[in-house]
Amino acid sequence: MKKQQSNLPFRPRRLRKNDSIRRLVRETQVRNDDLIYPLFVRDGKNLKSEILSMPGVYHFSPDSILHEIEALLKLGLDRTILFGIPNKKDEIGSDVISENGIVQRTAKEIKSRFPEMYLISDVCMCEYTNHGHCGIIIDNEVHNDTTLTYLQKQAVSHAQAGIDMVAPSGMMDGMIEVIREGLDDAEFAGTPIMSYAAKYSSAFYGPFRDAVESTPQFGDRKQYQMDPANSREALKEVDLDMAEGADIIMIKPAMAYLDIISQVKDICALPIAAYNVSGEYSMVKAAAEKGWIDEAKVRDELLLSIKRAGADIIISYFAKEFVS
């Protein structure tokens, strides 16, 4: 059959002809160096137990985590964010400020063996309180200003244990300023703060809360985490955190909030991080387990979309598989 050829002026398909030209005009790329891998640590010996709702993600103990750190370094992944689950949780999350706290002990272990691993810590109270809220409860509410004192002590205590960067995630007003002051006074002026600046009250955290047993025992987090319906409010939160001295701004979750990432990128000159959270990870894993999607391709497309939206840094449970 004779080929039909009209005189179309524009033919974008020219640049999609083969892989070579497609790679040449590719605008976005996820680099291994864009990624931060989260790790969960709890008390115990030789522990490596898979988290039921997060296939491929494990609870480690302060000793067994060293093997994982070694494996990550071999893969070229030299940044992790640590989440601790203490043995005992109480009303005021005492483990948070103890120099023998789970994160503090683990950080010392890791740094003594693998100083080249860049350690970031989640600074928040929900993993440590028996009520599962992100702060100190007074009159049935998380009391903002009382909580700030704890967050400041937690950040300083983490830095003293060797943590390289702190990541406050509690959404308390003024937390960045107070933590910056605390770090500076304790001679950690060089320790950066990555602020969970726009953190939404999201159902996508479900699997994580199973992992750290932090589901609130009463109420929810809507008094401090943001309403998913709001985007201008995210810009306000970002402005405040920049003014308070944040070094990196984080948006969380990522997938359902790509518009927020993009808007924040337009107004903020700091590096933008996005947290590809537990629910986003587990949905992909579950669908792949059923054979409904191609896991690696969907994973790569998701990470790409987060980068394309404007994130410079992606925190993701997929990081290890991505670089493997």
**Applying CB under 6 A, which residues contact ligand PBG?**
122, 124, 126-127, 169, 205, 208-209, 277-278
Q: In terms of CB distance, is 66 or 274 closer to ligand PBG?
A: 274
Q: In terms of CB distance, is 69 or 211 closer to ligand PBG?
A: 211
Q: Which residue's Cβ lies closest to ligand PBG?
A: 208
DSSP tag of 240: H
Catalytic residue among 2, 236, 252, 297: 252
Q: In terms of CB distance, is 122 or 244 closer to ligand PBG?
A: 122
Q: Which of 97, 94, 88, 90 is nearest to 130 (CA)?
A: 90
CA distances to 147, 148, 184 from 152, rounded to whole Å, are 9, 6, 11
Rounded CA-CA distance 257/306 in Å is: 9
Q: In terms of CB distance, is 81 or 110 closer to ligand PBG?
A: 81
Q: Is 265 a catalytic residue?
A: no
Q: Is 252 a catalytic residue?
A: yes
Catalytic residue among 199, 285, 307, 320: 199
Q: Identity (one letter) of the amino acid at 27?
A: E
Q: Minimal distance in Å, beta carbon 90 to ligand PBG?
A: 17
Contact 281, 258 (CB under 8 A): no
Q: Which of 35, 121, 30 is nearest to 78 (CA)?
A: 35
Q: Minimal distance in Å, beta carbon 126 to ligand PBG?
A: 5
CA distances to 1, 15, 268 from 4, rounded to whole Å, are 9, 20, 50
Active site residues: 199, 252
